[in-house]
Amino acid sequence: MVMRAALLVLVACGARTAAPVADARAPATVILYRDRALVAQRVIADVPPAAKATIQLEVAAGVSPDDVFLVDGGVTISDLRVIGGAIARPAVEPAVAPPAKPTKIELRVTAPRAGRYTLRLGYLTDRITWEAAYTLTTTAERERGLLRGAVAVRNATGLALPSVRLSLVDSDHALARARAAEQLSTKLVKTQASTTPVAVPRELGVIALVEGDTRVELLPELSRELRSVLVYDPIGTKLDRNLDYPVRDASLGIHPPPSPHVTESFEIKRDRKATAGLPGGPVRLLERRPDGSLAVLGEARMFDSSTRVAEVDTVALGTAEGVVGKRERRELTVDDDNARISEEFVISIDNKRARPIEVVLREHLYRHQTWHLAYYSSSVVAKQEGAQQISLRLQVPAKTKSRILYVVVYPWKKPQR
């Protein structure tokens, strides 16, 4: 008897063969990360009197014995091997990739005694990938919008997964594990918590993950208020660095010169409970015309790691007429004695319009993920939006030029002698 699920398993001992049964209490578990997926399947196996068993299982294409592990089950693994030897790779990749074939692995386990055991076996695979996308649909009044989101999951493992409890973590697997260990350390030994926002899991329910593409809804239709606002984001996330030490390059963020363009945008306030753990992805702002047709007003991204703790999202519509921004660095100081770099900026907004405006100044603290604001002008409110992103709100009267100043400090730990 052979059972096909996330794992195909056969348990035997000598000439006797005992087929396992699926654990009906829980479906397979799949956790999607940015770079790979974690697959785990429960199997109930009857281990014979010798208290040793050989399990043959099919796992995702490309998985090696080193990728398979026992999550729990009361047994120990004595040997793991690929049935038929190592997976051969063609010398020349074919123009059209052949259908994926699962890898067959033989697993030998030892139990403390004969009996029935519930095993939970897992492995990591890069053959399950995903992409998220959103739409925000408004009307001609542009006062509210309906937010929808979905994730397209591509299963190229060679295995159909008929019942999967699916969740998603918008982070690389190694980074997510490191952050979990860091949080545990902070809790147990009371170390200082990191200021980098952590990715939280988004539960997507129990689905059938067929071979090929599966669309999974991320959230029910959500009505949100739209608010017109101007945004000045002269740098963007392209310069963000996360190294062991702050970047010292004096030209970083200065050359080429930052953009002077301010954008007309819509601001959408987040519902923290409804949007917690949503993955980053592109969003299209659509307007439904009286005849029922849809027109694209703007495109942006929502829920990226750079805005993980932001209270709002913004979608740009185009360049704001009569408003210009300027970003100037006043000072850069590298203090090796005190292990810190400080940088001072002045941001100016020139409002040539005949009415006052509100501008969201979006700054990226790109030299390092460890930083703090040592000073900023009292005329603005500063809020952290992500690991290396802040927003500062500025009110600019009509026919006026306003500016703000802020100082950011990047500390680092000196090596112990």
The dihedral sign for the CA sequence 41, 67, 58, 37: positive
List phi, psi (to 5°) of 306. -70, -15
Per-residue pLDDT at 229: 96
Per-residue pLDDT at 26: 59
What ranges do the domains of the chain cover? 10-126, 149-218, 224-267+308-411
Neighbours of 119 (CB within 10 A): 26
Measure the CA angle with vertex 271, ends 270 and 275; round to 5°. Answer: 90
pLDDT digits (tens, 9 = 90+) for 309-320: 999 999 999 999
Per-residue pLDDT at 365: 96
Q: How far apart are CA 109 and CA 231, in angstroms?
A: 60
Q: How far apart are CA 385 and CA 103, in angstroms?
A: 43
List phi, psi (to 5°) of 111. -110, 155
Question: Can you give the pTM of this predicted structure?
Answer: 0.84
Per-residue pLDDT at 20: 44
Per-residue pLDDT at 42: 79
Neighbours of 74 (CB within 10 A): 14
In Å, what is the CA distance from 368 to each residue of 248, 265, 412?
A: 10, 28, 9
Per-residue pLDDT at 232: 98
**Alpha carbon 273 to its chain's center:** 17
Pairing of strands 312-335, 340-351: antiparallel
Q: How far apart are CA 195 and CA 173, in angstroms?
A: 20
Residue 304's nearest CA partner among 179, 133, 127, 175 is 133
Q: Which residues contact 294 (CB under 8 A, 6 or more apart)?
A: 137, 286, 287, 288
- For 142, half-sphere exposure in the C-beta direction (CA atoms, 13 angstrom radius) is 16
- Tokens of residue 69, six digits: 């592990």
Per-residue pLDDT at 289: 92
Helix (H) or strand (E) holding 168: strand 161-168
List phi, psi (to 5°) of 260. -90, 0
Q: Which residues contact 250 (CB under 8 A, 6 or more apart)?
A: 332
- Architecture (CATH level 2) of domain 224-267+308-411: Sandwich (2.60)
- Complete DSSP assignment for 351-408: E-SSS-EEEEEEEE-TT-S--EEEEE-TTSEEEEEETTEEEEEEEE-TTEEEEEEEEE
Q: Which amino acid is at 413?
A: K
Pairing of strands 357-364, 340-351: unpaired
Q: How far apart are CA 399 and CA 323, in angstroms?
A: 10
Low-confidence ranges of the chain (pLDDT < 70): 1-26, 85-99, 181, 183-195, 416-417
Q: What is the 3-state secondary structure (H, E, C) of 354-370?
A: CCCEEEEEEEECCCCCC
CB 102 within 8 A of CB 60: yes
